[in-house]
Amino acid sequence: MARSWHTVGGRRRNVLHVEVQKRSRSKKARLLALKWCGVLALSAAFIAALWFGLLAVLEHALYRNPDFALREVEVQVQGAVSRAEVLRTAGLRTGQNIMALDLGRIRQSLRQISYVDTVRVERALPSRLKIVIEERQPVARIDPRSADGNELAQATYYIDAEGYMMRPKPGEELKLLPVIKGVPADQVQDGQRTDRPEILSALNLLRLADYAALKGDLDLTQIGVDSKGYLVLNTRDQGRIHFRTDFLAEQVRRLKTILEYAHERGLVIRTVDLTPERNVPVVFANL
């Protein structure tokens, strides 16, 4: 075989020898890579076998263990929601494996009941489940109106302080609560939260009137929300008060000042229009 020589830095170097060394290093690198691939493949197989083995152990020890069969469901709830409705909605029955139950799904299903506000679901091993429900508390009623004036199949709904609407239970005696009038029927749906500003402002007005100690002067049995952006409320002397839906706290403060003025002078209010930002129109009458 012919050999070629060249000079690098004043020294002759065997080019063939250099090529042989390169090939040897490349072969060793390939063998090392194959070795590590084999190690990784064996490790993956071992981990997979261990994982499936653990699943089998868990399946036998937890999910097929008769000690974890559901024997008791403790339900803590007071009010409109019954124990039977809770169990039916959650899909619970004795004998189910308590470890296999999806607590998140149970909570989500129970939240679909319109009266349910918050839900807590806990396992009490080995065989008991605890469900704690806090209900929404109605603060007012809504009497929706139909578009054609006909009588509605559901004539009354409750609504809580956050604006969630609830259908009364069948046969229930209606609670004596303030009534919000003038809401179209298509804006009322069981279990849904209203986004209509007039309804939310009416709920806010009920809170503010209580806080400002105006209950003695106002007729809070009914609030009208017929007009977009406005509320209508009566006094106990049949006076009529108009509110805007925004800046409600400021309007209540103005109304309190007007009522105090009327009391000091022995007058009653016939009309008050609180919608202007200043120069509030008021009509008084003598007692």
Verify that 29 and 160 share a domain, yes or no: no
The pLDDT tens digits for 212-269 are: 778 889 999 999 998 999 999 999 999 999 999 999 999 999 999 999 999 999 999 9
Tokens of 1: 């075989």
> In the prediction, which pLDDT does 107 show?
96
Residue where a domain stops, chosen among 111, 135, 159? 135
Q: Side chain identity at 239, as an amino acid letter?
A: G
At position 102, the amino acid (one-letter code) is D
Q: What is the DSSP letter of 29?
A: H
pLDDT reported for residue 169? 87
Which CATH number belongs to the domain containing residue 101 in this structure?
3.10.20.310
Backbone angles phi, psi at 129, to 5 degrees: -120, 135
Domain of residue 28: give its range.
5-63
Q: Are 183 and 159 in contact (CB under 8 A)?
A: no
Same structural domain, 123 and 190: no
The predicted structure's pLDDT at residue 36:
78
- Per the listing, tokens 């189910």 go with 96
> What's the chain's average pLDDT?
85
Q: What is the mean pLDDT of residues 148-153?
A: 75
Q: To 10 degrees, the CA torsion angle through 205, 208, 212, 216? A: 40
In the structure, how many helices (H) and strands (E) does the chain have? Answer: 5, 14
What's the CATH code of the domain at 276?
A: 3.40.50.11690
Q: Is the pLDDT of residue 174 over 50?
A: yes
Confidence of residue 54 (pLDDT cuts 50, 70, 90): low
* Cβ contacts of 63-69, under 8 Å, gap ≥ 24: 63/97, 63/99, 63/100, 64/97, 65/97, 65/99, 67/126, 67/127, 68/97, 68/98, 68/99, 68/125, 68/126, 68/127, 69/94, 69/95, 69/96, 69/97, 69/98, 69/127
Residue predicted with more confidence, 145 or 142: 142
Better-predicted residue by pLDDT, 261 or 33 = 261
Question: Terminal CA-to-CA distance of the chain, rounded, Å?
Answer: 132
DSSP string, 236-252: TTS-EEEEESSSHHHHH
98 vs 79: which has the higher pLDDT: 98
Domain count, the chain: 3
Whose tokens are 């809401």? That residue is 183
- Cβ atoms of 269 and 260 within 8 Å: the answer is no
β-strand 267-273 against 282-286: which pairing, if any? antiparallel
The residue out of 119, 135, 151 marking a domain boundary is 135
Q: Once rounded to an integer, what is the mean pLDDT over residues 145-168?
A: 88
Mean pLDDT, residues 198-211 taken together: 92
> 38: helix, coil or strand?
helix
pTM of the model: 0.74
pLDDT digits (tens, 9 = 90+) for 272-283: 999 998 889 999
pLDDT exceeds cutoff 50 at 8: no
- Final residue of a structural domain among 135, 167, 192: 135
**Do 126 and 50 sit in the same domain of this protein?**
no
Condensed to tens digits (0 to 9), the pLDDT of residues 81-128 reads: 999 999 999 999 999 999 999 999 999 999 999 999 999 999 999 999
The answer on 74 and 49 residing in a single domain is no
